[in-house]
Amino acid sequence: MSSQVVLVNVGLAVAGLVVVSGVRVLITVVSTKDYFTKHVRVAESVGFRERRIHIRDGLELNVAEGPGDGIPLLMIPGQGSSWQEYAKALPHLIDTYRVLAVDVHGHGRSTWNPADYSAVQIADDLAILIREVFGEPAVVAGHSSGGLIASVMAARHPDLVRAVLFEDPPFFATEPDRVPGTYVGIDSYPAAISFLAQDTERDWVCWYLPRSYWKKMFGNLWPVLTKPVIRQRRADPECIPVVRWVSVQINRIWESLSHPYDLRFGQGFFDNSWFAGFDQAETLAAITCPTTFLKATTRYNKDGILLAALSDEDLARVEELLPDNRTVRVRGGHDIHFAHTKAYVNALIGLARRLPSVQKAG
């Protein structure tokens, strides 16, 4: 083969790579535009409406309520998230469920009162919410810490909880002796503690990003990624920052930090007060209703730090304690409802089919 032919082939290969790279960048730019709020608008277009509900003196909970008269479903987002986090899944559930997605205490437009930030208190308040809105037992779906809350509800209020969908909740990995060996123990907790201890920086996102564990993973690229995020937050502290030239998955890092959230809620995880009166093993053992457990991929870093909500060993312990559980493993990260919406929706619809009343009706 002549050198000219080799040069032509190399040139074509390089040109092809440039074109492919350009196409990928274009696809990324298009896909990241409005990737989060567009789902909220779709949910609103099919009938979801926000309202605040008085639960008791000193507490109002903000909810998004969907149309229809299906099986009552209460959706509980994870720590730091508001009801809008579920928007991508909501339109696909309304044929089966009458959906109520809630901003947990200290989140979104619900009351921010640190005296209420414990799993038991929140569970009891959400039981009142079920009575007030549905007037009958509901299926409860909880993501992350929302799954922990759902377990307390099912154990303490079995007359109000028909079934539970656990979406990757951190059972047992959140116990005090385990936390130092987890991602939150080396990243989220220390950053939040240092933020709450200072009074110079008011914006949590701007404080967290330069100190994040992610900077170790992205190296010198991290400041390049986070500079536009911090610039957007400085211009509008209530915005959800978007960096158009990187993937939605990467944008989710800072987007998930940008929703209205009282960091004092997380303080109860640091000092374990959030778990007052909540023994995780005893709670799981007390649950009698049908459950489905969605488990994301288990990962560790090179130092053996758990980069997942719970380990496979933790899951095995959960499965031993739940009497009527089905586990669904999903290859991917913690936010299954967003990244793998179809699998999430299918799990909820499958759980509805396991309810005794639905079986009789069919």
Structure tokens at 360: 């009789």
Domain for residue 261, yes or no? no
Domain for residue 260, yes or no? no
Please indicate, yes or no, whether residues 148 and 277 belong to a single structural domain of this protein: yes
Phi, psi (deg, nearest 5) at residue 295? -115, 120
Please indicate, yes or no, whether residues 311 and 166 belong to a single structural domain of this protein: yes
pLDDT tens digit sequence for 127-145? 999 999 999 999 999 999 9
Please indicate, yes or no, whether residues 63 and 99 belong to a single structural domain of this protein: yes
Domain for residue 26, yes or no? no
Quick one: how far is CA 253 from the chain centroid?
A: 12
Domain for residue 20, yes or no? no
pLDDT given at position 216: 87
Reply yes or no on whether the pLDDT at 344 is more than 50: yes
Domain for residue 135, yes or no? yes
pLDDT given at position 127: 98
Please indicate, yes or no, whether residues 293 and 250 belong to a single structural domain of this protein: no
Indicate the residue among 199, 223, 255 that finishes a domain: 255
Indicate the residue among 200, 225, 255 that finishes a domain: 255
Distance of alpha carbon 233 from alpha carbon 116, whole angstroms: 29
Q: What is the mean pLDDT of residues 57-84?
A: 97
pLDDT given at position 138: 98
Indicate the residue among 214, 230, 255 that finishes a domain: 255
Please indicate, yes or no, whether residues 88 and 161 belong to a single structural domain of this protein: yes
Cβ contact 76:126 at 8 Å: yes
Q: Give me the helices (H) in the chain, please.
A: 3-32, 37-45, 119-133, 145-156, 183-186, 188-196, 204-208, 214-218, 221-235, 248-255, 264-270, 280-285, 312-321, 336-339, 341-353, 356-361
| Domain total of the chain | 2
Q: What is the mean pLDDT of residues 191-199?
A: 94
Distance of alpha carbon 106 from alpha carbon 89, whole angstroms: 23
Amino acid at 300: Y
Question: Please, what sign has the CA dihedral across residues 79, 62, 233, 338?
Answer: positive
Cβ contact 292:347 at 8 Å: yes
Q: What is the mean pLDDT of residues 68-76?
A: 96
CATH number, domain of 99, equals 3.40.50.1820
pLDDT band, very low/low/confident/very high, at 24 (cuts 50, 70, 90): low
Domain for residue 80, yes or no? yes
Q: What is the pTM of this model?
A: 0.90
Q: What is the mean pLDDT of residues 170-190?
A: 94
Reply yes or no on whether the pLDDT at 210 is more than 70: yes
Please indicate, yes or no, whether residues 158 and 302 belong to a single structural domain of this protein: yes
pLDDT band, very low/low/confident/very high, at 343 (cuts 50, 70, 90): very high
pLDDT tens digit sequence for 259-274? 999 999 999 999 999 9
pLDDT given at position 29: 58
Distance of alpha carbon 225 from alpha carbon 228, whole angstroms: 7
Cβ contact 275:310 at 8 Å: no
Please indicate, yes or no, whether residues 149 and 296 belong to a single structural domain of this protein: yes
pLDDT given at position 68: 87
Domain for residue 187, yes or no? yes
Domain that holds residue 224: 183-255
Please indicate, yes or no, whether residues 107 and 130 belong to a single structural domain of this protein: yes
Please indicate, yes or no, whether residues 62 and 128 belong to a single structural domain of this protein: yes
Cβ contact 284:322 at 8 Å: yes
- Residues ≥6 apart with Cβ < 8 Å to 312: 298
Distance of alpha carbon 282 from alpha carbon 278, whole angstroms: 8
What is the largest distance, in Å, between two alpha-carbon atoms of the chain?
85
User: What is the residue-averaged pLDDT of the chain?
Assistant: 90
Of 93, 158, 90, 81, nearest to 123 by C-alpha is 158
Domain for residue 11, yes or no? no
Please indicate, yes or no, whether residues 155 and 56 belong to a single structural domain of this protein: yes
Please indicate, yes or no, whether residues 251 and 309 belong to a single structural domain of this protein: no
Distance of alpha carbon 319 from alpha carbon 176, whole angstroms: 21
Please indicate, yes or no, whether residues 191 and 170 belong to a single structural domain of this protein: no
Helix, strand, or coil here: 78?
A: coil
pLDDT given at position 357: 64
Structure tokens at 148: 């922990």
